[in-house]
Amino acid sequence: METAPTFFINGSWVPPSTDATIDLVSPATEEVYGTAALAAEADVDAAVTAARAAFDRGPWPRMPLADRIAALQGFLEVYRPRHEELAALVTREMGSPISLSRVMHATVPQLIVEAFLDMAPSYPFRQVRRSAVGNALVTREPVGVVAAVIPWNTPHSVAMLKLMPALLAGCTVVLKPAQETPLDAVLLAECVEAAGLPPGVVNVLTADRQVSERLVTHPGVDKVSFTGSTAAGRRIAALCGHDVRRVTLELGGKSAAVVLDDADMDTVVRAVGATSIRNTGQACSNKTRLLVSRRRADELVERVADLLSSLRVGDPADPATEVGPLVSARQRERVEGYIETARAEGAKLVVGGGRPAGCDRGWFVEPTLFAEVTPAMTIAREEIFGPVLSVLVYDDEDHAVALANDSSYGLNGSVFSTDTERGLAVASRIRTGTVELNGHLVGFHAPIGGFKCSGLGREAGWEGFDPYTEIRSIGVPPDVADVLERG
């Protein structure tokens, strides 16, 4: 049995204030394989107190930026060798196929760390601005103590999108992982400890929803950064709004892939496999609405159906597996409910729709494709978070854009065309924070985030530092401005 019996607070492993625990259940076998401690409000208070002291009186915010960069480079050096261990942990915890975990859950976090370390020296923490009526030194100061609340579906990637800019800016952090994935958070804390970051700079504990509300409303917290469902994001936004607490939200999506008539269908199908069904459909940026003209609809449906039918579903620890189980019994019930609703509303089931043969244990659902989906259907409007794709048909380019934008979400999307100029023109009309042209990803030097109900603020890129800073302007005389400009 694996256990996570302690929390990482103020640079030490400390026992919880109560004996509350949660069983860790394998998504692949439905067997309990471990337990983890659950925080009470007293544990949250201790973590915030440690982060508050580290920010108010500790060395971290007062270090030169170069020293913080060096410290986090040291973190990366102890984090990188634990790549395979991290991949195996995430596979065990949430059922991601091990081949995907090695990339999405273990390599990508390293790339995010590297990107922020690369960008930090050029971020404008200090700028001189001149005008006819005055001269100012504009500084970006650390916002303070950050509560970083991360999801189970991409735990370390999201953690690094929050931790790295916050720490580089000089903030201190309380990291709260999801109950489904506490063990990989322990690994992260062990790397913080091994890197020798000052006590209280990073604190890690697992909590349920009720106790998590204590964290996001704690008077010692200056900033909340949350990634998760839109429903939970609304609640957190309301709580933070009451206290005018700074908040960043990266929430759900119902992203569209617009397949223009001149698209290369091989490119489309490859992208569907990579960015529509990944993580067993449990990724907020997945393109789950496939929009195609009537002229090419049959071709797309046939090609995607062949792709989904060919995917190997099974044991996530097997490197040959392409689709694993869903994270929990509750998640499978949710996905199966959406499949039944789609049938009841008149969508045409093309492939999948059930539980895969040979998977008698574990929370598996077949990769599923529906055609003849209309914009008003539930599966075209709500985030399913499972391996379920919908094909919607458009009449012309304007109709395609209208369908893509006919959503309360605006997180991600894609456009496929062999005419780059045309593809870019259509991409510019789609109301989402990210649009991928012909399956090309934006990387981590560019900002990501959502329009509409997909969130507030941006992560990654230089813009990823902004939520963790407060801007101050200091009026200075011209000669001082001259000195400051010269550095």
Residue extents of the structural domains in the chain: 2-251+454-474, 255-437
The span from the CA of 324 to the CA of 363, in Å, is: 9
pLDDT band at 485 (very low <50, low <70, confident <90, very high): confident
Active site residue 31: no
2-251+454-474, CATH topology level: Aldehyde Dehydrogenase; Chain A, domain 1 (3.40.605)
Contact 30, 363 (CB under 8 A): yes
**pLDDT tens column, 258-302:** 999 999 999 999 999 999 999 999 999 999 999 999 999 999 999
Task: Kindly state the average pLDDT of the residues 54-81.
Answer: 98
Give the per-residue pLDDT at 84.
98
Residue 487 has pLDDT above 80, yes or no: no
Marked catalytic residue, from 180, 250, 366, 383: 250
Active site residue 284: yes
**Mean pLDDT, rounded, of the chain:** 97
Residue 349 has pLDDT above 80, yes or no: yes
CA 118 to each of CA 47, 142, 444, 467: distance values in angstroms, whole numbers, following the listed order: 30, 19, 11, 18
The verdict on pTM exceeding 0.85 is: yes
Residue 486 has pLDDT above 90, yes or no: no
Give the per-residue pLDDT at 104.
97
Q: Residue 238 contacts by C-beta under 8 Å, 6 or more apart in sequence?
A: none
Q: Write down the number of H helices and E strands in the chain.
A: 16, 23
Give the per-residue pLDDT at 2.
82
**pLDDT tens column, 188-232:** 999 999 999 999 999 999 999 999 999 999 999 999 999 999 999
Give the per-residue pLDDT at 386.
97
255-437 sits in which CATH class? Answer: alpha beta
Strands 32-37 and 409-410: unpaired
What is the share, in percent, of the chain residues with pLDDT greater than 70? Answer: 100
Marked catalytic residue, from 171, 191, 240, 284: 284
What is the share, in percent, of the chain residues with pLDDT greater than 90? Answer: 97
